[in-house]
Amino acid sequence: MVSSRGNSISNQLLPFLGFLPVFFFHVLVLVHSFQISASVFFPTTQASFASLSEVTNETAANGREANALVKWKHSLDNQSQALLSSWSNGSTTPCNWVGILCNYSNSVTHINLGNFGLRGTFNSLNFSSFPNLNTINVSTNSFYGNIPHQMGELRKLQILDLASNKFYGSLPKSIGNLSRLSYLALAYNNLSGSIPSEIFQLTSLLDAQLQNSGFSGSIPREVGILRNLLTLNLEDCKLTGSIPTTIGNMTNFVYLNLASNQLSDYIPREIGNLTNLLFLSLANNQLSGYIPQEIGMLGNIQRIYMGNNSLSGFIPKEIGMLRNLSELDLSENYIYDRIPGTIGNLSNLYAIFLYANNLSGSIPEEVGKLSKLSFLQLLSNNLTGPIPVSIGNLTELLSGELSSKWAQCSNLTSLKVSNNNLSGSIPPEIGEATKLVELYLSSNHLSGEIPKELGRLVLLNELQISDNRLSGKVSSKFGLLEDLTLLDLAANNLSGSIPKQLGGLIKLLHLNLSKNQFEQSIPSEIGHMIFLRTLDLAGNSLIGRIPSSLGQMQRLETLNLSHNNLSGSLPSTFDGLLSLTSVDISYNHLEGSLPNIVAFHNATIEALRNNNGLCGNISDLVACPKIISHHPQSRRRKNVTLIVLFPILGTLIAMFLLFGISYMLYRSARKTENHHLEEPIQNLFAVWSYDGKIVYENIVEATEEFDSKYCIGVGGCGSVYKAELPTGQVVAVKKLHLETDGGMSSILKSFTAEIRALTEIRHRNIVKLFGFCSHPQHSLLVYEHLEGGSLDKILKSVEKAIALDWDRRINIVKGVANALYYMHHNCSPPIIHRDISSKNILLNLDYEAHISDFGMTKILNPNSSNLTLFAGTFGYSAPELAYTMKVNEKCDVYSYGVLTLEVVLGQHPGDLISSLFSPSSSSVCSTARNLLLKYVLDQRLSHSNMFNC
């Protein structure tokens, strides 16, 4: 269906559309395997449920079953009846109807309507017409009402799956007559009352899925009668009272989940009898007392979750006997004493969470034996002593070949030990744990230097070492940690200069170097971190000027440079810090005028005090002399007198550039002034397509002066409001975050041409830009308003994502492709959007995609180099763009590919892209790459429905 539009699809889009046939191939494989499994399933059920006596009276029985089903169908809503169109009076046997299976004597054995999109009640289904029914599966539909009493007549029923519907009321007592029932799922319904005692008559029951079903009350003692039960899930059921000791009678249990209730009292020792248990969760309750040492008898257990209770006492050393344990979570309790060294026996341990307890003593050296350990989280305890060397490198504990292999392939990805009393130095061996993604060592008493070996942890995302006693210099090797998003070295005794290599941390969002003794000037390379949101360099001994490159950090929200010895004026580039909301430059030697941005307009005197001569319109600050900015002469004098050491040649070049820029700004300001004079439109008020002034007033009125209740979104360069004009037309108004001081700001001027071009675009998959107006107070873009909202919001909401079925998703992908083709190939010069992401795809009520937000748009000028500052949304931009900064159509195509994957997966593909396409597969530590498509497809949609596309 895509290729029929072949002509209109650019060559560049083809690789991504090529993905679609692969996609459908997988769908076919999926469906095919489903059919095979169904045909394997048939004979067994047929064999077991057809007996000779049932063959008699065959046709009469068929007729009764068919009639009962048709009658029930007619009680469902219209859409459901359409879905069951094969259920018709015309045929006497229902055996080939959708969702129905029969035995040899053509009597119905299975009603399989899971995830069909049905809506209605069970009141009209005559259960007595189905003497041979084995399975009812109506899970994941919208059935409501009471579960009917007559269900108790289905004496042969083995599987009853009513999960994920809207059934209410209590469970009928007759359920106790389903003596063959082995599988009962009532999960995710709105049932009420306590767990009915009749359930305990179901002695054949193997698997009870009752989580989130609405039941409350206590767990009845009778639960112990269900000796055959293998699985009991009562998670999130508002259960109160204690766990009955009779639970110990259920020795067949393999899975017991009582998490997220309000259970109190002790954990019964009898739990130790459940020797077949693989999974035990008691998390998020109010359990108290000790962890029974009998837990050591759960020899098969793989996962234990007891987090967020009120447990006290110590961790029983018997825990070391659980050789199959892979996850242990005892976090958020009051557990004290040492971590038993016997955890070193848990050779299968993958994750251990003991944070937020009162554990003391040192971290046992034995953790180094846990070669499969990936998560070690011990935050917020009273642990003392050093970080064991064995954490990173086992050469001292293991011998020979094995040890060197381990050193290359430590599996640790998360080591969090912040907020303890750990002392000693950071062992350089941590540098061997090369899979580390999170390393938290903050708030301890660690001393010595930060080992440069940490520079080997190239996968590191978050590094927190703040609030320790670390000293010495920061190694330039830190600049190699290219995946870092958070670097916090605050509140130590670090000294020396800030390494300029940190500028290479291009993904960094938060950088905190405050409260140290860093000296010399701020390296201008810091300004390369263009995604940075927080920069805190307060409380150091930094000198010199603030580098103008900091003005490039367009996403910076918080900037703290206070309590240093910085001097000179604030760079004029700070006018570009449009996202900045919080700033503190107090206690320096700064002078001159404040940048003309919101953060400084709103700054309090506390954030500016104790400088040498700042001026501006803030109270308590002297007003600036009339002409202060762009004044090359005064700057030059300051430069020469203040920074004597600055090389004279460099100064001259800087002056030349400054003068040049000022001159150009001056020239262009003159030009637009002339331009305005020629036009009859008012000087400060540029409008197209509309009588601007009236529209502007209407918009201000309709949004009650941009009241937040009309705000429907906030983006990088502005907030979007919904406004209903007096004509009845609803438009979306984007108010740009541009403060204008009586005229179009220079940034807007440079966009004027682009905006003008966009008003001329007309395409069904592009949001219409009606016009633009610049007013002394607000600059506004007026767009077509789309009721459906943005694609990213829809994909995040479970309900809306389900409504966005495969058909609609394909249409969205096609719509975006058409719009991009139009922009790249039918517009001259081509228009590059530069920020294609799910946030910027809006849908109308028919789920038709519209590209919006042309804030970053670039018109390709064939004569210029098209080099630019980085723009776009992180995670959607082509990797090469980050270093080449070259804009062409390929940027949009890459983002389109990411978007397409997001539509198919239901979420941003994240690391999937790099793991699919990365060439470094030979690494010993490489992760599993053979992902099956069915596991990554949006799980909220039925995959069999993909046929409809």
Write down the catalytic residue from 488, 575, 584, 835: 835
On the 0-12 / 13-18 / 19+ scale of CB atoms within 10 A, 929 is exposed
Cβ proximity to ligand NAG, 371 vs 596, nearer residue:
371
Binding segment (CB under 6 A) for ligand NAG, from list 240-248, 530-538, 594-602, 744-752: 240-248
Helix, strand, or coil (residue 675): helix
**Two structure tokens written together for 443:** 């708030």
* Closest approach of ligand NAG to the CB of residue 29, in Å: 18
Cβ proximity to ligand NAG, 444 vs 549, nearer residue:
444
Helix, strand, or coil (residue 288): strand
Cβ proximity to ligand NAG, 5 vs 227, nearer residue:
227
**Two structure tokens written together for 45:** 């059920």
Instruction: Write out the DSSP string of 490-525.
Output: -SSEEEEEPPGGGGG-TT--EEE--SSEEEEPPPGG
SS (H, E, C) 407-432: HHCCCCCEEECCCCEEEEECCHHHHH
Measured between alpha carbons, how far is 894 from 874 in angstroms, rounded to an integer? 12
* Interface with ligand NAG, residue 148, by CB under 6 A: no
* Interface with ligand NAG, residue 149, by CB under 6 A: yes
Measured between alpha carbons, how far is 263 from 240 in angstroms, rounded to an integer? 5
* Closest approach of ligand NAG to the CB of residue 164, in Å: 9
Compute the half-sphere exposure of residue 751: CA atoms within 13 Å on the CB side of its CA.
Answer: 21
What are the φ and ψ backbone dihedral angles of 565, each rounded to 5 degrees? Answer: -120, 35
* Closest approach of ligand NAG to the CB of residue 248, in Å: 5
* Interface with ligand NAG, residue 51, by CB under 6 A: no
Binding segment (CB under 6 A) for ligand NAG, from list 151-159, 308-316, 556-564, 709-717: 151-159
Residue (of 702, 754, 705, 696) closest to 726 by Cα position: 702
Interface with ligand NAG (CB under 6 A), residue from 65, 270, 525, 575: 270
Q: In what order do the strands lie in the sheet with 789-790?
A: 789-790, 841-843, 849-851
**C-alpha distance from residue 418 to each of 352, 510, 904 (Å):** 15, 18, 39
Binding segment (CB under 6 A) for ligand NAG, from list 244-252, 259-267, 308-316, 675-683: 244-252
* Interface with ligand NAG, residue 65, by CB under 6 A: no
Q: In what order do the strands lie in the sheet with 421-425?
A: 384-385, 421-425, 445-448, 469-473, 493-497, 517-520, 541-544, 565-569, 589-593, 613-615
* Interface with ligand NAG, residue 892, by CB under 6 A: no
* Closest approach of ligand NAG to the CB of residue 115, in Å: 4
Cβ proximity to ligand NAG, 189 vs 611, nearer residue:
189
Pairing of strands 279-281, 303-305: parallel
Helix, strand, or coil (residue 68): helix
Helix, strand, or coil (residue 58): helix
Interface with ligand NAG (CB under 6 A), residue from 124, 216, 245, 252: 245
Looking at residues 173 to 202 of the shown chain, list those that interact with ligand NAG (rule: CB under 6 A).
174, 177, 183
Measured between alpha carbons, how far is 754 from 565 in angstroms, rounded to an integer? 43
**Two structure tokens written together for 19:** 């993905």
Cβ proximity to ligand NAG, 391 vs 794, nearer residue:
391
Binding segment (CB under 6 A) for ligand NAG, from list 19-27, 145-153, 625-633, 738-746: 145-153
Radius of gyration over alpha carbons of the chain, in Å? 34
Cβ proximity to ligand NAG, 27 vs 614, nearer residue:
27
First to last CA, the chain: 9
Helix, strand, coil % in the chain, rounded to nearest 5 = 35, 20, 45
Measured between alpha carbons, how far is 29 from 33 in angstroms, rounded to an integer? 6
* Closest approach of ligand NAG to the CB of residue 224, in Å: 5
* Closest approach of ligand NAG to the CB of residue 182, in Å: 10
Interface with ligand NAG (CB under 6 A), residue from 139, 141, 442, 512: 139
Cβ proximity to ligand NAG, 224 vs 743, nearer residue:
224
- Cβ–Cβ under 8 Å, residues 113 and 86: no
Interface with ligand NAG (CB under 6 A), residue from 93, 105, 137, 698: 137
* Sign of the C-alpha dihedral computed for residues 637, 643, 647 and 650 taken in this order: negative
Cβ proximity to ligand NAG, 270 vs 332, nearer residue:
270
State the number of binding residues for ligand NAG (CB under 6 A). Answer: 28
Clarify whether 892 is annotated catalytic.
no
Beta strands in 767-926 (DSSP E): 769-774, 779-784, 789-790, 831-832, 841-843, 849-851, 858-859
Pairing of strands 255-257, 231-233: parallel
Looking at residues 113 to 132 of the shown chain, list those that interact with ligand NAG (rule: CB under 6 A).
114-115
Cβ proximity to ligand NAG, 245 vs 582, nearer residue:
245
* Closest approach of ligand NAG to the CB of residue 345, in Å: 4
* Closest approach of ligand NAG to the CB of residue 149, in Å: 6
Tell me the residue number closest to ligand NAG, measured at CB: 114
* Interface with ligand NAG, residue 161, by CB under 6 A: yes
Helix, strand, or coil (residue 455): helix
* Closest approach of ligand NAG to the CB of residue 208, in Å: 12
Cβ proximity to ligand NAG, 243 vs 509, nearer residue:
243
**Two structure tokens written together for 702:** 């309709």
Interface with ligand NAG (CB under 6 A), residue from 153, 327, 332, 902: 153
Binding segment (CB under 6 A) for ligand NAG, from list 149-157, 387-395, 740-748, 765-773: 149-157
Binding segment (CB under 6 A) for ligand NAG, from list 245-253, 276-284, 675-683, 762-770: 245-253
- Cβ–Cβ under 8 Å, residues 146 and 169: yes
* Interface with ligand NAG, residue 152, by CB under 6 A: yes
* Interface with ligand NAG, residue 159, by CB under 6 A: yes
Measured between alpha carbons, how far is 316 from 177 in angstroms, rounded to an integer? 44
**C-alpha distance from residue 285 to each of 289, 316, 317, 454, 879 (Å):** 13, 20, 24, 39, 46
Binding segment (CB under 6 A) for ligand NAG, from list 70-78, 153-161, 758-766, 839-847: 153-161
Interface with ligand NAG (CB under 6 A), residue from 179, 275, 421, 927: 421
* Interface with ligand NAG, residue 165, by CB under 6 A: no
* Closest approach of ligand NAG to the CB of residue 256, in Å: 15
Cβ proximity to ligand NAG, 152 vs 715, nearer residue:
152
Cβ proximity to ligand NAG, 246 vs 866, nearer residue:
246
Alpha carbon 883 to chain centroid, angstroms: 26
* Interface with ligand NAG, residue 384, by CB under 6 A: yes
* Interface with ligand NAG, residue 382, by CB under 6 A: yes
Interface with ligand NAG (CB under 6 A), residue from 278, 321, 700, 725: 321
* Interface with ligand NAG, residue 272, by CB under 6 A: no
Q: x/- string (CB under 6 A) for ligand NAG, residues 333-362?
A: --------xx-xx--------------x--
- Cβ–Cβ under 8 Å, residues 328 and 304: yes
* Interface with ligand NAG, residue 488, by CB under 6 A: no
On the 0-12 / 13-18 / 19+ scale of CB atoms within 10 A, 832 is buried
* Closest approach of ligand NAG to the CB of residue 445, in Å: 7
* Closest approach of ligand NAG to the CB of residue 404, in Å: 24
Helix, strand, or coil (residue 774): strand
Cβ proximity to ligand NAG, 114 vs 131, nearer residue:
114
What does the binding site for ligand NAG look like in residue numbers (CB under 6 A)?
A: 114-115, 137, 139, 149, 152-153, 159, 161, 174, 177, 183, 224, 245-246, 248-249, 270, 320-321, 341-342, 344-345, 360, 382, 384, 421
Residues annotated as part of the active site: 835
